[in-house]
Structure 1
Amino acid sequence: MPKVSRIIPILENLLFFWLGLALVLSLAGDRLSIPPILQVLGRAHPLILHFPIVLLLMAVGLLWVSDERLKRAGAQILLVGGNLTGITVVAGLILASEEYEGDALVWHQWLGVASLLLSVLIYFFREKSGKFVRISTGTLALAIILTGHFGANLTHGEDFLLAPIQSKEVDLVTLEEAEVFQHLVQPILEAKCIACHKEGKVKGELRMDQLAGLQKGGKNGPFVVPGDLEKSLLIRRINLPKEEKEHMPPKNKTQLTDEEIEILEAWVAAGASFDQKVTELKAEEPLFQLASNKFTAQKSYSFDPASESTIKDLNNFFRKVNTVFPGSPALEVAYYGSSTFDPSSLKELKKVREQVVKINLNRMPLADVDLGILGDFSNLEELQLNTTGITPTQLSSLEKLQNLRNLALSGNQFDSEVIGALGKLKQVQRLFLWNSGLNEAEKEELKKALPGTMIDFGFDGKGVIYALNPPKIEFETVLFQDSMELILSHPIRTAEIRYTLDGSEPDSLASPIYSNPIWLKKTAQIRTKAFAKDWIGSQTANALLFKKGINPKSYKLAFEPHTRYSAKGATSLFDGIKGKTNHTSGDWLGFTDNPLEIELFLEPDSKAQTLDLSFLFNESAYIFPPESVEIWTGNQSGWQKMPETPSLTATKLEEVRFGVLSYQLPDTDFEKLKIRLKPISKLPAWHPGAGAKGWVFVDEIIIN
């Protein structure tokens, strides 16, 4: 007991020390320089905070009982718990200096200090009155709970506590409703990025939980540069090798999937818009294609379906009534045969007026038809009236259709009178007016009348030269056995398709003209372009196709690949499986500190003639062509080195792509091969990581 009596005064004095230090750090911590050794203490905050919480709550419970011995025990536990609380609060305040900010931090910080202050007050004034003890200990218990709550919000997110009881239903978004950022990009950022870049924890001065923070960027530059993958910090960081310090997400966090990386890259390449709708993208854009795979075109409806017998009765030779997709209550109606069209048949559709969402009346003679009947179709979303002879007066009946989103009026001749009629249809989102007879002034006036509507006036190509789409390359597989048929095609039949098979750029004069299917009998790097009179030549389409080779009898790597990019070891180089464009897919062997050096032992009489090396190139991720390639052939008399040929070189950041280096082997007898690929030792000056080590990524070695 004498020893304990000497310790108690020390602990009592320490309470004031911790409280004073906590107040100093709270009020002036941003102006203090924290030494590294104390930063270690700060990072221990999550490890030590649980024990004082238990002690304080235990002390609160004991101070409420009437037994004097238990109360004394409670006071001693409170003294120890108060000191540990002081250490925890000080550690937390030191940790808060490391890129934490926001309301949650402020509440967590001051509630922690308040808990320490209450502990001190309760300990020294516990004998004053029972009422004081009950009120102060109750307040302390509440402060501890709230401190823990805001701490959990900082670490796990604001919805951490109530997440298990919150609804997990996900709203289905249709392609028509989807927005590029909100529905395609933001969910990726929320799942993989925001934990380290949100209110309360802002690493690199970059906040990603609010739009303004994304647009502002961080201390290392802009988050994204619209249309520029090379300068966009987001794209550079996600493509760095995982073991790089700046790779995002950090290697101990859940990584982005191939699809997520593709979406983010396509979003930046398409302009990194924060308010664009998916339907505003061009159909051929990669981002639209990714979105079309993600979002359903099958909108859900709340109204009841029509009976099957009613739908069956409405179907005949000139009218088809079908569900918009199997199982949907929504119906679409299409009319056929203008010579047999009977306007009175529109009245028959009243039986399903609640269920009809689309009506196609293209080419039906509607010049004198009363379209007032359509005003009863409250759920009608799309109406096609192309080449129907409709007049502006008839369009006034469409004002009642508040759900009308798409209206097609192409092929009808209008004058300025139509502007007033269409200007009242503010609910229409897409309006098609090809060959409508409107002049440029009238078109501009209509645009002003409908500022929220996308109006398509069609294409006028007079005096304008447009670029062709690239040809389509069709083949069965990337790795073929003996030979494979290669088919090139273009939607414009008069377009001339030129191609090369050696990786060189095709031109409109010297390159071969495609006329019949090409039969490949060896590894080929095909590039093809389309040319036509009065058109600009297309962009290049390309494909890298490999002829499967002979498998070596055995092989031996001199150096193991990097542990993170080891695939299935040397076996991966001869398994006939082509890697994906993502270097983290597990199909590639990656080398950076050591070269790829491998010895191959061939079967007798293999008569190897060619050697193809299949690479991945991604300069943004430091993956370059090899700095040098050395090849030896060998037999019982020793090794003979082949003359070195220049390797490929990279001169700028390019898109992720496959590459191949092909070599003609000497016409001599040899039983083994040795290949040595040296990674680039220093990245060039034009690269953001200039001077750093580069990587070589290989997935196949093919011998024929």
Structure 2
Amino acid sequence: MSRFSRSISWLENLLFFWCGLTLILLIGGESLAVPAWLQVAGRLHPLILHFPIVLLIMAVVLLWLGEDQWEKMGRIILLIGANFAGITVVAGLILATEDYEGEALSWHKWLGVLSLGFSVLIYFFIKKLQNSLRLIGSLLAIMLLLTGHFGANLTHGEDFLLAPLLTKEVKTVALEDAEVFRDLVQPIFETKCISCHKEGKIKGELRMDHLEGIQKGGKSGPFILAGNPDQSLLIQRIHLPLENEEHMPPKNKLQLTDDELDILRFWVASGASFEQKVLELSQEEPLFQLASNRFSTEKAYTFEAADSDQIEKLNNFFRKVKPVFPGSPALEVAYFGSSTFDPNALSDLKKVKDQVVKINLNRMPLEEVDLSFLSDFQNLEEIQLNFTGITSAHLKGLSKIKSLRSLAVSGNPLGESGMEELKNLTQVKRLYLWQSGLSADAKNGLKKSLPNTQIDFGFDDQGIIYPLNPPKIDFEEVMFKEKAEVKLSHPIRTVEIRYTLDGSEPDSIRSPVYSQPIALTKTAQIRAKAFAQGWIGSEESKTLLFKEGLKPLSYKLANEPHNRYKAKGATSLFDGVKGKANHTSGDWLGFTDSPMEIEIFLENNQKPKSVELSLLLHEGAYIFPPESVEIWTGSAGKWSKVEIPAPIPPTKIEEVRFGLLAYSLPEGSIDQLRVRLKPIASLPKWHPGAGAKGWVFVDEIVLY
């Protein structure tokens, strides 16, 4: 027997091995304990699956030609392709024992098995199937295409194959309609998370393609702890170092942007609501500020626009009618001048009742005016009736306006009967009742009747002491050259702002009072608080500003930073560019397996008196202050160690922030400097990653 014949015989026998192994895995695969080395073999499935597809399709084409020479070549290619199909199916069945399940997996698995079966069937019975060979070959080709399609869905998401042909309408969401989870958080999950946590592929037993799965969490338990981002697995995992195997998304996937990281953190911190609207957030909240830039303030309206000539006729010296924004069919109406107000002119608005969405009647005399006509304005969203003399009778009929979302009735004698009418306005989301003269019981009763309405009763100081908002710190650059100007401000001009520049907490007695812009000539940690009589002092605002230092003659790192966090190497430490508050921004040198050790060579005339180290701190991402710091000064080849205290270790997970280590250098001639920062070898017991290695992140070394 020739070598070629022996090879063919060996490959034919091997087909039965693949078929038998496939049968074993189909029957008992779920109960088999797959060893780690065999899991590695299973993960070769995506790598080798292309071989059988190409070879089997090629064989089908050759068999279709029907000529003897092509048929012989096609049969050999079919044999090789069938063996590759066997390897691929077996590897796929092993891989399927991991975190995969669902309808797409079932279709992919069984179509793959059928493709193997058809390949073997065609090969061994090619003569008997001669009359139907083209039909069976075509079925095999179709199976291969469908198998690949469902495999692509598993790996890349639904409709991956046809995605370029499917036109997706970009939906413009108005800020008024935007929801925090649906329009801010869920799109992040869909683009960055669901490919690994969906039906068919549930990594870590976590599904993120429906709410129940997100709320349930995975095998490690709930991964969202509402109001506690530092203890939430979601926030911990997305901030882990990129090469950590628990980092989400995996390092070979598209990573989250800075804004996306902030959105997820602020969402969890604000309570991780799945139903909250963006406008229900306080405008001071960072999450609202992020969201307000993403959504249109121009709501889309589907009704037809009113005739422009008709709108022009409605405008006069006491009434203004105009679109809510250019090009919109929606109209807003405002009245001016109470002395010239004509109640009969209100009936003119019926001509545009389908287009009016806002009416401003503030300070118009409406005591004798029947407002029931407004119930015909079924697109009306906002009514302002402040200081108009209306009573409870005027409010009847407003409950019929289902589109009404905002109502302002401040400064009116509504009384208890008026409260009963307001309780019927369950469709209203914002209600303004300043100077209403209501008792505390009436206010509480109204709040209970309208639990989904934001009710603003105005400021009512009844001995309750409220905290002030923190002051604002304004500056041009985090890292400055000669001098920096810092301005502190507060929306309440009468407050007293006190600040410190040495990192200590400001108080209302000893700390300097801010009166004019602060001129900085050196690195400073600015902390500021607002104080006022009758108020609780504010939370502090703080920031670190760095002054550029001396440029050394040269420098050399003893140990290379981690490959993922190497910025521009040692040059980054003296380039005068401050890194962003994000360890993945590419501005930082990160060290975990070896210390950050650098030798700095100075010019003859340089005599630095201090050295400052700019750090990034984020305990949730395992980024800590160094476990120890060593500084050595060298002169004429002799080295002397500088005695410095050990850095103070943190005691809890805090938000991402800049850190500063500053040390004085001894007087005298110095021509070399050696700095060594040792990363924490084992995270403390209070940390979720207790026992793991910590990181040190540095972006600047400043010499003065």
TM norm structure 1: 0.91
Q: For 2:72 and 2:388, how far apart are their aligned partners in 1? A: 95
Q: For 2:674 and 2:580, how far apart are their aligned partners in 1? A: 26
Task: Provide the residue aligned with 1:646 in structure 2.
Answer: 646
Task: Provide the residue aligned with 2:533 in structure 1.
Answer: 533
Structure 1 residue 316: Cα displacement: 4.8
Q: Which amino acid aligns with 1:658?
A: F
Q: For 1:477 and 1:10, how far apart are their aligned partners in 2? A: 73
Task: Provide the residue aligned with 1:221 in structure 2.
Answer: 221
Q: For 1:12 and 1:482, how far apart are their aligned partners in 2? A: 80
Task: Provide the residue aligned with 1:88 in structure 2.
Answer: 88
Structure 1 residue 261: Cα displacement: 0.9
Structure 1 residue 545: Cα displacement: 1.6
Q: Which amino acid aligns with 2:385?
A: L
The 3 A distance-change label for structure 1 pair 80 and 693 is closer
Q: Does 1:181 align with 2:181?
A: yes
For the 8 Å contact 2:122–2:129, the answer to whether it is kept is: no
The 3 A distance-change label for structure 1 pair 600 and 9 is closer
Q: Does 1:410 align with 2:392?
A: no
For the 8 Å contact 2:474–2:486, the answer to whether it is kept is: yes
CA deviation vs aligned residue, 1:638-666 (integer Å, no higher than 9, x gap): 44433223323222211111111223333
Task: Provide the residue aligned with 1:469 in structure 2.
Answer: 469
Structure 1 residue 296: Cα displacement: 1.9
For the 8 Å contact 2:618–2:624, the answer to whether it is kept is: yes
Task: Provide the residue aligned with 1:145 in structure 2.
Answer: 145
The 3 A distance-change label for structure 1 pair 41 and 344 is same
Q: Does 1:254 align with 2:254?
A: yes
CA deviation vs aligned residue, 1:438-470 (integer Å, no higher than 9, x gap): 555655665565555444444544243322211
For the 8 Å contact 1:354–1:377, the answer to whether it is kept is: yes
Deviates more, 1:535-544 or 1:437-446: 437-446
Task: Provide the residue aligned with 2:509 in structure 1.
Answer: 509
Q: Which amino acid aligns with 1:334?
A: A
For the 8 Å contact 2:627–2:646, the answer to whether it is kept is: no
Q: Which amino acid aligns with 2:627?
A: E
Structure 1 residue 64: Cα displacement: 6.1
Task: Provide the residue aligned with 2:591 in structure 1.
Answer: 591
Q: How does 1:344-359 map to 2 (within 5 A)?
A: 344-350=344-350, 352-359=352-359
Q: Which amino acid aligns with 1:523?
A: T
Please state whether the residue corresponding to 2:359 is helix, strand or coil.
Answer: strand
For the 8 Å contact 1:414–1:438, the answer to whether it is kept is: no
Q: Which runs of 5+ in 2 are unaligned?
A: none
Please state whether the residue corresponding to 1:614 is helix, strand or coil.
Answer: strand
For the 8 Å contact 1:413–1:435, the answer to whether it is kept is: no
Q: For 2:600 and 2:5, how far apart are their aligned partners in 1? A: 79
Structure 1 residue 197: Cα displacement: 1.3
Deviates more, 1:113-122 or 1:273-282: 113-122
For the 8 Å contact 1:333–1:358, the answer to whether it is kept is: yes
Q: For 1:6 and 1:567, how far apart are their aligned partners in 2? A: 58
Please state whether the residue corresponding to 1:701 is helix, strand or coil.
Answer: strand
Q: Which amino acid aligns with 1:84?
A: F
Please state whether the residue corresponding to 2:568 is helix, strand or coil.
Answer: strand
For the 8 Å contact 2:331–2:355, the answer to whether it is kept is: yes
Deviates more, 1:16-25 or 1:656-665: 16-25
Q: For 1:477 and 1:322, how far apart are their aligned partners in 2? A: 43
Task: Provide the residue aligned with 2:569 in structure 1.
Answer: 569
Q: How does 1:230-629 map to 2 (within 5 A)?
A: 230-303=230-303, 305=305, 314-350=314-350, 352-418=352-418, 421-439=421-439, 443=443, 446=446, 450=450, 452-629=452-629
For the 8 Å contact 1:334–1:360, the answer to whether it is kept is: yes
The 3 A distance-change label for structure 1 pair 534 and 154 is same
Q: For 1:219 and 1:648, how far apart are their aligned partners in 2? A: 35
Q: Which amino acid aligns with 2:292?
A: S
Structure 1 residue 608: Cα displacement: 3.4
Q: For 2:6 and 2:672, how far apart are their aligned partners in 1? A: 82
Deviates more, 1:130-139 or 1:613-622: 130-139
Q: For 1:11 and 1:637, how far apart are their aligned partners in 2? A: 72
Task: Provide the residue aligned with 1:107 in structure 2.
Answer: 107
Please state whether the residue corresponding to 2:546 is helix, strand or coil.
Answer: strand
Q: Which amino acid aligns with 1:487?
A: K
Q: For 1:185 and 1:508, how far apart are their aligned partners in 2? A: 40
Cα RMSD between the aligned structures? 3.1
Structure 1 residue 367: Cα displacement: 1.7
Structure 1 residue 291: Cα displacement: 0.8
Structure 1 residue 581: Cα displacement: 0.4
CA deviation vs aligned residue, 1:345-384 (integer Å, no higher than 9, x gap): 3344455444432222222221221324434544322111
Please state whether the residue corresponding to 2:691 is helix, strand or coil.
Answer: coil
Q: For 2:476 and 2:123, how far apart are their aligned partners in 1? A: 80
Q: Which amino acid aligns with 2:262?
A: E
Please state whether the residue corresponding to 2:693 is helix, strand or coil.
Answer: coil
Please state whether the residue corresponding to 1:175 is helix, strand or coil.
Answer: coil
Deviates more, 1:690-699 or 1:654-663: 690-699
Q: Which amino acid aligns with 2:360?
A: N
Structure 1 residue 159: Cα displacement: 1.9
TM norm structure 2: 0.91
Q: How many residues align?
A: 704
CA deviation vs aligned residue, 1:209-251 (integer Å, no higher than 9, x gap): 1211111111223211112222211111111111222222111
Q: For 1:146 and 1:484, how far apart are their aligned partners in 2? A: 65
For the 8 Å contact 1:298–1:325, the answer to whether it is kept is: yes
Deviates more, 1:279-288 or 1:441-450: 441-450
Task: Provide the residue aligned with 1:25 in structure 2.
Answer: 25
Task: Provide the residue aligned with 1:206 in structure 2.
Answer: 206
The 3 A distance-change label for structure 1 pair 80 and 523 is closer
Structure 1 residue 418: Cα displacement: 3.5
Structure 1 residue 66: Cα displacement: 6.4
Structure 1 residue 83: Cα displacement: 3.6
The 3 A distance-change label for structure 1 pair 140 and 671 is closer
For the 8 Å contact 2:104–2:154, the answer to whether it is kept is: yes
For the 8 Å contact 1:44–1:91, the answer to whether it is kept is: yes
Deviates more, 1:560-569 or 1:435-444: 435-444
Deviates more, 1:276-285 or 1:317-326: 317-326
Please state whether the residue corresponding to 1:550 is helix, strand or coil.
Answer: coil
Q: For 1:602 and 1:485, how far apart are their aligned partners in 2? A: 30
For the 8 Å contact 1:633–1:670, the answer to whether it is kept is: yes
CA deviation vs aligned residue, 1:495-522 (integer Å, no higher than 9, x gap): 3322221111122333233344333232
Q: Which amino acid aligns with 1:479?
A: M
Q: Which runs of 5+ in 1 are unaligned?
A: none
Q: For 1:425 and 1:180, how far apart are their aligned partners in 2? A: 25
Percent same amino acid at aligned positions?
64
Structure 1 residue 309: Cα displacement: 6.3
Structure 1 residue 184: Cα displacement: 0.6
The 3 A distance-change label for structure 1 pair 600 and 120 is closer
For the 8 Å contact 1:626–1:648, the answer to whether it is kept is: no
Deviates more, 1:124-133 or 1:202-211: 124-133
Structure 1 residue 179: Cα displacement: 1.1
Structure 1 residue 395: Cα displacement: 2.6
The 3 A distance-change label for structure 1 pair 607 and 312 is farther
Deviates more, 1:490-499 or 1:202-211: 490-499
Q: Which amino acid aligns with 1:330?
A: A
CA deviation vs aligned residue, 1:101-122 (integer Å, no higher than 9, x gap): 1111112112222333344445
Please state whether the residue corresponding to 1:53 is helix, strand or coil.
Answer: helix
Please state whether the residue corresponding to 2:536 is helix, strand or coil.
Answer: coil
Deviates more, 1:23-32 or 1:590-599: 590-599
The 3 A distance-change label for structure 1 pair 61 and 484 is closer
Deviates more, 1:94-103 or 1:595-604: 595-604
